Amino acid sequence: MIRHIKVRTDGPGMYEITRAVQEALASTDLDEGLCTLMIQHTSASLVVQENADPSARRDLESWMDRHVPEGDPHFTHTTEGPDDMPSHIKAALTATTLSIPFESRRLTLGTWQGIFLWEHRQRGSVRRCVVHVGG
């Protein structure tokens, strides 16, 4: 079964979508199986990260910004703005698809794990994900 999720973002950062994925899963009648998430963009991505202390996510964003900086003079793909090319690189370094098993209708995430959509562009957008739920 396939479900579609839309996530509104208002700038760079990680947006937790664990609940939205869990709800997509709950809308099916399956007790156990595999839930796969795919983001339909190349300037935003997916990541499983700590859901407790937000400083971990800020440090991760900051590390990425230092290593894939806007305005890198090597970039030639600049017509869509200085934040576009870093977005593609950050997306390539993280995940476009994630597959998470579920049992008793619950994703088998670890205690401290959350699923995040990582917006890499400066401006807000509506980001689309596809969820596949199989037995």
Give the binding site for its own copies (CB under 8 A). 2, 32-34, 36, 38-42, 47-50, 53, 55-56, 58-60, 62-63, 66-68, 72, 74-77, 79, 84-85, 88-89, 91-101, 103, 108-113, 128, 130-132, 134-135
Task: State the nearest-atom distance from the C-beta of 12 to its own copies, in Å.
Answer: 15
Q: Select 29 or 110, whichever has its Cβ closest to its own copies.
A: 110
Task: Using the minimum distance from each CB to its own copies, give the nearer residue, 97 or 124.
Answer: 97
The half-sphere exposure of 77 on its side-chain side, counting CA atoms within 13 A, is 7
From the CB of 60, what's the least distance to its own copies, in Å?
6
Residue 28 CB, shortest distance to its own copies, in Å, is: 13
Residue closer to its own copies (CB basis): 13 or 38: 38
If the CB atoms of residues 54 and 124 are measured against its own copies, the closer one turns out to be 54
Task: Report in angstroms how near the CB of residue 108 gets to its own copies at its nearest.
Answer: 5
HSE at residue 135, side-chain half, CA atoms within 13 A, is 2
Q: What separation in angstroms does the CA of 84 have from each of 87, 95, 127? A: 5, 17, 15
Q: Smallest distance, Å, CB 126 to its own copies?
A: 12
